[in-house]
Amino acid sequence: MEEKLKFGTYLFVSMLLVGALNSQPAQSQEVKAGDLVISQPWSRAAPRGAETASSYMTIENKGASADRLVGGSSDVAEKVQIEQISMVGGGMQVKPVDGGLGISPGEKVVLAPGGYRLGLLKLKSQLKKGTKISMTLEFEKAGQVAVLFDVLGPAAKGPAGPKASANTAADDSKMKK
């Protein structure tokens, strides 16, 4: 009897493992605002006492006219700033994106490590891995949009999906100023 119980337990645990390994990873939310679709919003965890944190996402414009991400706000930070990261002389440089981030019709703009990001400045609380933070994004045409960001690990490169490319991360030439 004990042998059957052990075998049944092993079989059950094996089935659970196979099921877990074959299942799709959790997908973060997708938010629609006018012609814009915001997907895979996430933030890096920040320990207690940290002054800043970074948030990322993909914004797709499915409409016929351009829009622009002009800012945002969150209860976890005094200021949310659109920033561009670049490497200069072997060091990382962070520059605010003045005038907002343009999203042309039919295009995707990917905010990802090494490219564009939302800088959360003067944090009011720590961002813990496994939690969610709420942010209100401000678009020129689509207006204000509430979005929940999944908090991943402090060194996370993002959820599975689109990553920053040379064109989306650093090419400003397509943006209308």
The residues pairing with 72 across neighbouring beta strands, listed in sequence order, are 80, 137
Q: Which of 153, 161, 139 is nearest to 29 (CA)?
A: 161
Q: Are 42 and 56 in contact (CB under 8 A)?
A: yes
Q: Please check whether residue 118 lies inside any domain of the structure.
A: yes
Q: What is the CATH number of the domain that holds 54?
A: 2.60.40.1890
pLDDT value at residue 150: 97
Flag the least confident range among 21-25, 57-61, 87-91, 96-100: 21-25
What value does the mean pLDDT take over residues 47-69? 95
- Tell me which residue range forms the domain holding 93: 30-156
Name the domain count of the chain.
1
Residue 175 lies in a domain: no
Average pLDDT over residues 86-91: 87
- φ/ψ (deg, to 5) at 36: -95, 145
**Per-residue pLDDT at 160:** 62
Closest CA to 170 of 121, 120, 107, 117: 117
> Per the domain annotation, does 50 fall within a domain?
yes
Examine residue 13 and state whether it is found in any structural domain, yes or no: no
Asked whether residue 67 is assigned to any structural domain, the reply reads yes
In a domain, 97, yes or no: yes
Place of tokens 């196979």: 18
- Asked if residue 147 is part of any domain, the answer here is yes
Query: What are 76-86's pLDDT values in tens digits?
Result: 999 999 999 99
**Across all residues in the chain, what is the average pLDDT?**
81
- Could you tell me which residue, 28 or 84, shows the higher pLDDT? 84
- What average pLDDT does range 19-28 have in this prediction? 39
Mean pLDDT of 28-37: 88
DSSP, residue by residue, 14-75: HHHHHHHHHSPPPPPPEEEETTEEEEEEEEE-B-TT-SEEEEEEEEEE-SSS-EEEEEEEET
pLDDT of residue 11: 40
Is residue 40 one of the residues assigned to a domain?
A: yes
